[in-house]
Amino acid sequence: MKRCLRTLAGILAAVLLSASLSACDISEYFQFNAPTEKGIPEDNSLEYVPLGDPGYTTPAAYQALTSRYAYRELDEGQQTLYDGLIANAYRVYPEEDDRYGYRIAQVIVDGYQLDTADVRVTVRALVNDNPYLFWLSQTYTMLNNPDDDYTAVQLYSEFEPTALIGMKHELDNAIDSFYRSVDEGLSAYEREKLVHDYILDLCEYDDDDRDRTELTTENIKSHSVYGALVEHVCVCEGYGMATQLLLNGLGVECVTLTGTAYDSADDQDEDDAVLHLWNAVRLGGNWYHVDPTWDDQEQAFQRYNYFNLDDRSIARDHVLSKTPEELGKMVIESEGTDAMNLFIPVCERLDYNYFIYECPHLTDYEGSTVTEALYDAALDANEYFTFYIDASMDYDTALSLLFKDSPQYFFGYIDEVNDDLYDYEIDNSNLSYYPDATRRCVTVALKYY
The single-letter code of the amino acid at 244 is: Q
Domain final residue, candidates 350, 373, 404 = 350
Nearest to 88 by CA among 36, 46, 43, 27: 27
- Is the pLDDT at 2 greater than 70? The verdict is no
Nearest to 137 by CA among 123, 152, 121: 123
* Per-residue pLDDT, 209: 63
Residues 141 and 207 in one domain: no
Query: Is 184 a member of any domain?
Result: yes
Residues 261 and 177 in one domain: yes
Domain final residue, candidates 161, 177, 202 = 161
- Is the pLDDT at 276 greater than 80? The verdict is yes
pTM of the model: 0.91
For residues 86 and 147, the answer to whether their CB atoms sit within 8 Å is no
Residues 155 and 178 in one domain: no
Domain final residue, candidates 161, 182, 213 = 161
Residues 56 and 138 in one domain: yes
CATH classification of the domain holding 289: 3.10.620
The DSSP string of 379-444 is HTT-SEEEEEE-TTS-HHHHHIIIIISTT-HHHHHHHHHHHH-SS--B--SS-EEEEETTTTEEEE
Nearest to 19 by CA among 123, 165, 162, 152: 123
Residues 81 and 189 in one domain: no
Residues 425 and 322 in one domain: no
Residues 190 and 119 in one domain: no
The 10s digit of each residue's pLDDT in 150-186 is: 999 999 999 999 999 999 999 999 999 999 999 999 9
Query: Is 151 a member of any domain?
Result: yes
- Is the pLDDT at 14 greater than 90? The verdict is no
User: How much is the mean pLDDT over the chain?
Assistant: 90
For residues 105 and 112, the answer to whether their CB atoms sit within 8 Å is no
Query: Is 326 a member of any domain?
Result: yes
Residues 75 and 152 in one domain: yes
Residues 312 and 198 in one domain: yes
3-state helix vs strand vs coil in the chain, percent to 5: 35, 20, 45
Residues 174 and 146 in one domain: no
- Domain extent, residue 425, equals 359-445
Query: Is 5 a member of any domain?
Result: no
- Is the pLDDT at 21 greater than 80? The verdict is no
Query: Is 3 a member of any domain?
Result: no
Residues 422 and 294 in one domain: no
The 10s digit of each residue's pLDDT in 341-394 is: 999 999 999 999 999 999 999 999 999 999 999 999 999 999 999 999 999 999
Which residue would you say has higher pLDDT here, 267 or 249?
Answer: 249
Query: Is 4 a member of any domain?
Result: no
In whole angstroms, what is the distance from residue 151 CA to residue 40 CA? 10
The 10s digit of each residue's pLDDT in 67-85 is: 999 999 999 999 999 999 9
Residues 392 and 370 in one domain: yes
In whole angstroms, what is the distance from residue 185 CA to residue 241 CA? 25
The mean pLDDT of 60-73, rounded to a whole number, is: 97
Domain count, the chain: 3
Helix (H) or strand (E) holding 445: strand 441-445
Query: Is 2 a member of any domain?
Result: no
